[in-house]
């Protein structure tokens, strides 16, 4: 087995079992090296007890309306930008400012930086934004925690080396020059849908952000800052040293020169056509506001949409802006017991007692549909009866969330009837393929008193998911064939993915769903399956786009292969099993650090063991027929031994992914739903087949 490294300390936690225990287990092993009957029985008994505790705990978390939702934790740029928005709009609230500042202070690392995931390295842009937010909250630049941060920022290139989005926020207050930012003209709204740089060439999350930012870029507002930020420049006399141009014959060089041309156009753009473009952008923005006032259920597009509309004359009392600002408040998670920070418990003054200083964390988005379908699957696979009232209530809630109108996805699929589910509470414009597949898998596990209603919803969902298949046979998350190579080349796009190509994890979930509804031999399913087999990495793993990373990808694909009828003896399955066994930690669990996106050679499948990643590996191995194998037994024991008395697991590590490497997520419910799913499948022998499972779904 391979010992792996922890992101912060460089060492894994000690193994759970003692050397004596390990020797005893080895003595009881069978002649083939697999665990003996007594060892397996002991593990199975412990797994049953852990499954019961975890089931009771997860059932207790359900909202009376039928949904589950865990906190969605990202990084402090969400909190910093919320304070910057309030400063820009002049709507500061002392209580909010102080609570947000306590949270930000509590997340500061010992070296003065802020990371974008637990145990990760300091990140320049996040550190700059956190520092500026604390300055707005009243922290003095010569305070020790602030001086540590500013010194680190200067050593790493200062503001000039930060990403474009950070410098846009600073430009709003005059801390950076608009002329020194990439240009983004509002006339982009007029590009035809087929054009490689049309707004529909961008992934939906980028599209929702870019359209309002074209307005901001054209308006170039400056609200005078209450202080200077000279201490954040590597050289205050030359705050923005010129950046070298790439060769003109390269794509980067071409787009750099295009950006220079757009800067010239900004100076000569005709007033009326530009005003018309901004009005068109405003209509586009307003048309996509959701019923709850948000945009796409995501905080960043909502923030930029509010700014853009305000710059176009919408006052803060306008119904559109009022609803938008109210929606942003719903992203706030208030906690009475904040994390310890440099100023003491809760990030407050030294000696302040916990509980007396609340903190406020901003979620980038909320995940009730995703959490609810995963919780339903976990409970069903753990043996909860298919007609259990709480599962029926969850199914009712999910049925009520199905989307019945077209959204941006219909630009490429205009004839396709709707029928998907989105990730969030309110997001009718952007259903996603991944949620839709998992909701179908959840609904198939529930014995609902109105089976015809469930089957009709599943039929619409399957038709929509099949219709969203890309040309290569695979599936992206939100759009079909969203693969233009050009958006990522724009100088503006220096942060995260801005296109939505097919991925192995989403494709696997769709293939698993299609097999579940009786379409394992459908030509479209087989095309997806062929794509998955072709995408396997040479070492046996699969890349995980929306979860970290190769453990997630492999944990998604192997259950799909099994559901589609690929035998456990298939070479691709055996390679994947061998990879999972090689990267298992000495303590029996699995873990993978976010750095695997940045450095596969050293980090793929490596990291401190986590409950969710151990569960993904177990789900994969169980699907591959390895239930009685040593790797599975040790993984199950790790889950059993790390379970807390209340039936939950602790998991500070970020195992979710927004943008590979650039934007990491800690889904707080992952630590509950996936271990329960894995334990349930270990105890009961596989995914539940209750509810409406078994009947094929028609076209």
Burial class (CB in 10 A: 0-12, 13-18, 19+), 356: exposed
User: In whole angstroms, what is the distance from residue 680 CA to residue 47 CA?
Assistant: 8
- How many Cα atoms occupy the beta-carbon half-sphere of 235 within 13 Å? 5
Q: Please, where are the H alpha helices in 604-629?
A: 611-623
Query: 332-335 and 663-667 as β-strands: parallel, antiparallel, unpaired?
Result: unpaired
| 434 in active site | yes
Choose, from 79, 434, 435, 593, the residue flagged as catalytic. Answer: 434
Residues recorded for the chain: 699
Tokens 């699957």 — which residue? 377
| DSSP 8-state assignment for residue 688 | -
| SS3 of the chain: helix, strand, coil, percent, to 5 | 50, 5, 45
Long-range contacts of residues 47-51, Cβ cutoff 8 Å, at least 24 apart? 47/636, 47/639, 47/640, 47/679, 47/682, 47/683, 48/683, 49/640, 50/639, 50/640, 50/643, 50/647, 50/679, 51/382, 51/383, 51/676, 51/679, 51/680, 51/683
- How many Cα atoms occupy the beta-carbon half-sphere of 159 within 13 Å? 28
CB 535 within 8 A of CB 542: yes
Q: What region, left, alpha or beta, does residue 481 occupy, with left being phi > 0 and alpha being psi -120 to 50 degrees?
A: left
Q: What region, left, alpha or beta, does residue 294 occupy, with left being phi > 0 and alpha being psi -120 to 50 degrees?
A: beta
Tokens 């207050």 — which residue? 173
- 358: tokens are 């609340």
Query: 663-667 and 656-659 as β-strands: parallel, antiparallel, unpaired?
Result: antiparallel
Where in the sequence numbering do the catalytic residues fall?
Answer: 434
């Amino acid at each position: 087995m391979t010992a792996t490294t922890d992101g912060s300390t460089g060492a894994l936690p000690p193994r759970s079992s003692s050397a004596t225990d390990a020797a005893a287990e080895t003595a009881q092993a069978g002649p083939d090296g697999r665990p003996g009957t007594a060892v397996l029985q002991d593990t199975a008994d412990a797994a049953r007890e852990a499954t019961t505790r975890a089931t009771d705990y997860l059932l207790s978390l359900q909202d009376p309306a039928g949904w589950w939702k865990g906190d969605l934790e990202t990084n402090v740029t969400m909190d910093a930008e919320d304070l910057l928005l309030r400063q820009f709009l002049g709507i500061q609230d002392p209580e909010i400012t102080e609570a947000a500042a306590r949270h930000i202070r509590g997340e500061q690392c010992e070296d003065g930086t802020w990371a974008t995931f637990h145990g990760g390295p300091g990140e320049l842009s996040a550190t700059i934004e956190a520092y500026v937010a604390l300055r707005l909250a009243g922290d003095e630049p010569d305070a020790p925690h602030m001086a540590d941060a500013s010194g680190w920022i200067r050593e790493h290139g200062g503001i000039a080396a930060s990403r474009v989005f950070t410098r846009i926020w600073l430009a709003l207050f005059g801390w950076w020059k608009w002329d020194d930012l990439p240009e983004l003209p509002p006339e982009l709204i007029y590009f035809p849908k087929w054009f490689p740089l049309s707004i529909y060439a961008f992934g939906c999350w980028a599209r929702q952000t870019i359209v309002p930012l074209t307005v901001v870029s054209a308006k170039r507002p400056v609200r005078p800052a209450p202080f200077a930020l000279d201490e954040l420049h590597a050289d205050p006399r030359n705050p923005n040293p010129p950046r070298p141009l790439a060769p003109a014959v390269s794509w980067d060089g071409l787009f750099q020169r295009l950006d220079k041309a757009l800067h010239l156009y900004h100076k000569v753009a005709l007033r009326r056509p530009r005003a018309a473009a901004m009005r068109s952008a405003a209509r586009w923005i307003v048309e996509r506001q959701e019923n709850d006032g948000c945009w796409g259920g995501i905080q960043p597009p909502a923030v930029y949409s509010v700014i853009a509309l305000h710059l176009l004359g919408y006052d803060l009392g306008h119904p559109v802006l009022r609803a938008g600002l109210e929606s942003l408040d719903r992203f706030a998670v208030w906690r009475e017991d904040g994390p310890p920070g440099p100023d003491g418990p809760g990030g407050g003054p030294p000696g302040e007692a916990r509980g007396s200083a609340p903190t406020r964390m901003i979620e980038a988005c909320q995940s009730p549909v995703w959490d609810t379908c995963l919780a339903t699957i976990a409970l069903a696979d753990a043996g909860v009866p298919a007609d259990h009232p709480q599962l029926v209530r969850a199914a009712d809630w999910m049925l009520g969330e199905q989307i019945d109108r077209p959204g941006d996805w219909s630009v490429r699929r205009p004839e396709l009837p709707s029928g998907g589910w989105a990730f969030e509470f309110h997001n009718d414009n952007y259903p996603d393929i991944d949620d839709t597949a998992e909701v179908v898998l959840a609904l198939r596990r529930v014995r609902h008193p109105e089976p015809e209603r469930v089957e009709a919803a599943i039929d619409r969902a399957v038709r929509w998911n099949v219709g969203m298949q890309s040309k290569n046979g695979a599936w992206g998350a939100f759009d079909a064939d969203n693969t233009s190579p050009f958006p990522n080349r724009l100088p503006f796009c220096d942060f995260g993915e801005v296109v939505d190509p097919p991925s192995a994890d989403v494709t696997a979930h769709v293939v698993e769903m299609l097999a579940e509804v009786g379409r394992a031999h459908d030509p479209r399913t087989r095309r997806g399956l062929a794509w998955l087999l072709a995408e396997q990495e040479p070492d046996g793993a699969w890349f995980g786009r929306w979860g970290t990373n190769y453990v997630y990808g492999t944990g998604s694909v192997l259950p799909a292969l099994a559901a589609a009828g690929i035998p456990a003896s298939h070479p691709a399955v055996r390679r994947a099993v061998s990879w999972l066994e090689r990267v298992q930690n000495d303590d029996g669990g699995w873990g993978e650090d976010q750095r695997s996106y940045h450095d596969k050679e050293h980090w793929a499948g490596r990291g401190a063991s986590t409950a969710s990643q151990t569960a993904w590996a177990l789900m994969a191995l169980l699907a591959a027929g390895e239930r009685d194998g040593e790797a599975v037994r040790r993984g199950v024991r790790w889950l059993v031994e790390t379970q807390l008395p209340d039936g939950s697991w602790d998991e500070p590590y970020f195992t979710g992914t927004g943008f590979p490497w650039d934007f990491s997520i800690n889904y707080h419910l992952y630590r509950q739903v996936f271990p329960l799913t894995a334990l349930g499948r270990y105890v009961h022998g596989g995914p539940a087949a209750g509810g409406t499972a078994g009947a094929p779904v028609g076209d």
